[in-house]
Structure 1
């Protein structure tokens, strides 16, 4: 690995360049003493960089520079650099040595992991795809939740209406609630009569429902009950009903 390479003005003989630099350890980035530096010039040159510094005088040409560091007779780190000397001058070439692996013992795991190159366009498309899927899933969940909520609400309303009908029939059945002008009506039915009388003897079922605190199911039951008792008359008009208090009951109740 070349750390720096500079060319300075000519200071030596014609067509001869000076190549010099420092050798560094790959772990500590410190000068690596007693490194052997070689170059395949004619004749070949070799020197011991005792303090981690080397220097060669080379004519114009292309050369292979080798740096080797041994410890206890074993090659520990090594590096090769190609030199292209195009003119005379002063060249500075610093070298960072790398670990030297015995030939044939280099495993795939010894090499640094190289991340897969992903194009920016593919990444954007992938993010857009994820966003679309997220929106579709979220929308589907919301729709499914709304459907379940409506079904449960409908079942609950149906159950409440059934329970309210059963309670109403129980509360308003028996001899004490028989149809008789002499017998007073239950309190809730009397409340309906009072509202109809206050509106001049007739009212729409929708308005009656608004003035009562009962559910729509119970209001329908009370209207039907009063109709069966002969106290009111229910007249169909459009999509609703008009509740009319019969004249004979208008005066007596």
Structure 2
């Protein structure tokens, strides 16, 4: 039984050996110059790797599907190539590979630049919440200033003017006209009349009718 098993594996080995195909070719640079010292690999079992010293390579492969890759790294130059091949019959097949420059670093730099631009645009987007807060604060300040201005410019009430009117009459020698009182205080005729009436009620002044006006005399 053991001998039969050994014979079977030997048969498979011989079949693979007999049906092996030679795959070879030349490695070229992007400008179609033969590229020496490129590294060529094939994903066979086991994998095979060779250095194309003279710019050529060769692999013995059984039937199957494979991926041939080649790369060249020297003097900050990165080039690579990859080809898929299916081997279905015996013989010798040529597969030349053309190395193309690798743009991985350029793509990485481009992605970083795009990310920086995106972050810059993100931070430049208006902060609507901050704008709303600023607008509300602005309106609050304006309303406060308006109320403060009105408070300071508010006309005095009638009861607040009685002492001032008495002082004014005293400065006029104890008597004056109602018209002069109105000129002195920024009030309407009706309010001045109310002030005088209140002073009369308190028996502080006396109003004497003269023509179309009134003379106010201190008691």
Rg larger in 1 or in 2? 2
TM-score interval (norm. to shorter): 0.3 to 0.5
